[in-house]
Structure 1
Amino acid sequence: MERKTNDAEFMQLQLEKLVRHLEALRIADYIELLQKPARLIFLNFVAGIARGLGIAIGATIIFAMMLELLRRLILLNIPGIGNFVAEVVRIVEMKNGKF
């Protein structure tokens, strides 16, 4: 009889650990989200827009910083590098319609 009590207590303890672990993983929220496909699509759409906007803004800032660095290298008038950088800047400005 005592063995059954120990087994039941052990099972109860293991089930409580499992429930706490699943709650920590927020499985219920995930299951609820899967049951509402429209909300899942909307959240993924918003996340995609945010990622795309972040990439565009980040790339623009990096490109502007690189262009400014190239312009400053031109001003230093280092032999060889200055001509190369000037040509790159000229090509970029031509593509942007400034020339």
Structure 2
Amino acid sequence: MDRKVDTTRERKFAAFCDYLERIRFNDYVDMTNNPWRLLWVNFIAGAARGVGFAFGGSLLAAFLVYLLSQIAILNLPLISEFIAEIVRLVSKNLEP
């Protein structure tokens, strides 16, 4: 009985060690032990997220402007009036 439990534990431990090697846990520990490297990696990741957010937001805004302009061209009564009101408000705020 004890021998069977020991082999089961050994197999589970070996599987756990393989898992840690696959996810490169050692690299993670090395990175956390070097605060400057950790700071640099997080800075680069944050900059990439910021650029991606700005790029994605710009694409989304451009798509929405294009979609609204196409709806305005169709001259749908309710939606066109709403868009025209927005344009009037923006124009009014731009006047000195």
RMSD of equivalent CA atoms: 2.7
Tell me the alpha carbon deviations over residues 68-97 of structure 1, each in whole angstroms, 9 at most, x when there is no partner: 1111111111112112112324555777x6
Counterpart-to-counterpart distance in 1, 2:90 and 2:41: 38
Tell me which of 30, 33, 41 is aligned to 1:32. 30
Identity %: 34
Aligned equivalents of 1:44 and 1:29: distance in 2? 15
Moved over 2 A (4+): 9-19, 86-95
Q: What's the secondary structure of 1:80's corresponding residue?
A: helix
Equivalent residue number for residue 55 of structure 1: 53
Which of 69, 72, 81 is 1:71 aligned to?
69
Q: Answer with 23-32 or 50-59: which moved more.
A: 23-32
Alpha-carbon contact 1:70-1:89 (below 8 Å) kept: no
In the TM superposition, residue 12 of structure 1 has moved relative to its aligned partner by: 5.1
Identify the structure with bigger relative contact order (alpha carbons < 8 Å, sequence gap 6+).
1
CA distance in 2, matches of 1:85, 1:49: 36
Are the aligned partners of 1:71 and 1:89 in contact in 2 as well (CA < 8 Å)? no
TM, length-normalised to structure 1: 0.72
Decide which structure has the larger Cα Rg and report it. Answer: 1
Q: Which runs of 5+ in 1 are unaligned?
A: none
Unaligned runs of 5+ in 2: none
